[in-house]
Amino acid sequence: MLAKRLRRVQPARTMEMNERAQALQRQGISIWNLTAGEPDFPTPVPIQEAALQAMRAGHTRYTAPAGIRELRTALAQRETARLGVEIRPSQVIVTSGGKQALYNFFMAFLNPGDEVLIPTPCWVSFYEQVRLADGVPVFVPTSPGHDFFPTVDDLNRYRTVRTRALILNTPHNPTGQVLRPEALQAIVEWSVEREIFLVFDECYGDLTFPSHRHWHPLQLIPEARPWVLSVHTFSKTFSMTGWRVGWAVGPETWIAAMTTVQSHSTSHPTSICQWAALAALQIPPDVVESIRATYERRGRWLYDRLARRPGLRPYMPRGAFYVWVDVQEWLQALETDDVGLALRLLEEAHVATVPGEAFQTSGYLRLSFATSEAVLENALTALIDFADRHGLP
């Protein structure tokens, strides 16, 4: 009965683990849930107030499909200041989260059989969105030695005449790594020379830890402008996941094409949420800074605790809110794979994690620290008990 397109697509495994955890919780079992891909902080009050104000002011009707002029203008100004190249409002589309910006792009630019290079590990929706748009995801495995980002040699190995786009995500989900400027520059040059569209997902761009600055391609190579679409969101920076507001910046013709797709699907993000997003851009920077600093503290704590265990190899997070852990020694000892380990941790230790397989990279677990210190503390205690019980290194 299903369309062929959908038969190629799986529901997100990140959500699947979360659902299993919630099912156990409904049975009255306390679960230490480290699967969250969203901030645990409430949306800052001035943003909530702006939404109420918008409703009362009657901003409850359809908006322009690419978003309200005020928000597009504010985003264009913000991007012009950040990137050092002029960005016009016509180069900005406001979308229902970063997710819809990506989806609009693939729907607008992929023909059946077009290949999209996706470095792995990777976020779950990249490859499924490409499939939904009748494209072909081509996975490009990366290595820990290059912080799980692709090198130009890696990209050359997987590029074919059908390669249409490359997706690059930094700060990175699931590894928490941040792409260094020299590496980014080499990749941008590579894409531009080959006329490959660069889809630059910087949804965690405001959440990096000191000495790991986040760079945008145009800050390094302004001439790359005709080839780059950057995707950003209010979800992570401002704890606004449920509000569903993101945006993309790119060449005017790309934004126009993406707006056509959007105009026939969701029309536009909720009017009220767009006004709230405008207020988010105006909240004092110290609000976001204090949230960022909290993530940093938690990330360091989690990394340090995991690193004490000789059989685990965590990677120090440099941005976002995830610790990526190589668990291969534990897998060997338990004679299982990462999905098996995640299930056993959930059922025996009541700790919920996401197996690396969900990100196309077996042998790892992703632990989110977008949760309270108390949950992290309990989760780690349960994890260590589990390891001791099974004699794991």
β-strands 322-326, 136-141 pairing? unpaired
Residue 37 or 217: the one with the smaller Cβ distance to ligand PLP is 37
**Is 317 among the residues that bind ligand PLP (CB under 6 A)?**
no
How many alpha carbons fall within 13 Å on the CB side of residue 377? 3
Helix, coil or strand: residue 7: helix
Give the helix ranges, DSSP H, for the chain.
Answer: 4-7, 13-26, 45-56, 69-83, 97-109, 124-132, 152-158, 181-193, 217-220, 252-263, 271-280, 285-307, 328-334, 338-344, 373-389
Under the binding rule (CB under 6 A), the answer on residue 151 touching ligand PLP is no
Using CB under 6 A, pick the residue from 196, 203, 331, 345 that binds ligand PLP. Answer: 203
Cα distance from N-terminal residue to C-terminal residue, the chain: 49
170 counts as binding ligand PLP under rule CB under 6 A:
no
Quote the least distance from Cβ 384 to ligand PLP, whole Å.
Answer: 28
Q: Which of 43, 91, 142, 173 binds ligand PLP (CB under 6 A)?
A: 173
CB 255 within 8 A of CB 89: no
For residues 4 to 43, the per-residue mask of contacts with ligand PLP, x marking binding by CB under 6 A and - elsewhere, is ---------------------------------x------
Nearer to ligand PLP by Cβ, of 37 and 250: the residue is: 37
The verdict on 201 binding ligand PLP (CB under 6 A) reads yes
Question: Minimal distance in Å, beta carbon 173 to ligand PLP?
Answer: 4
Stretch of 19-27, 91-99, 155-163, 343-351 contacting ligand PLP, by CB under 6 A = 91-99
Burial class (CB in 10 A: 0-12, 13-18, 19+), 388: exposed
Q: Which residues pair with 197 in a beta bridge?
A: 165
- Taking the complex as a whole, the smallest distance from the CB of residue 174 to ligand PLP amounts, in Å, to 8
Dig out the tokens for 77 from the structure.
Answer: 């100004």
Residue 309 binding ligand PLP, by CB under 6 A: no
Residues that bind ligand PLP (CB under 6 A): 37, 97-99, 123, 169, 173, 201, 203, 233, 235, 241, 246
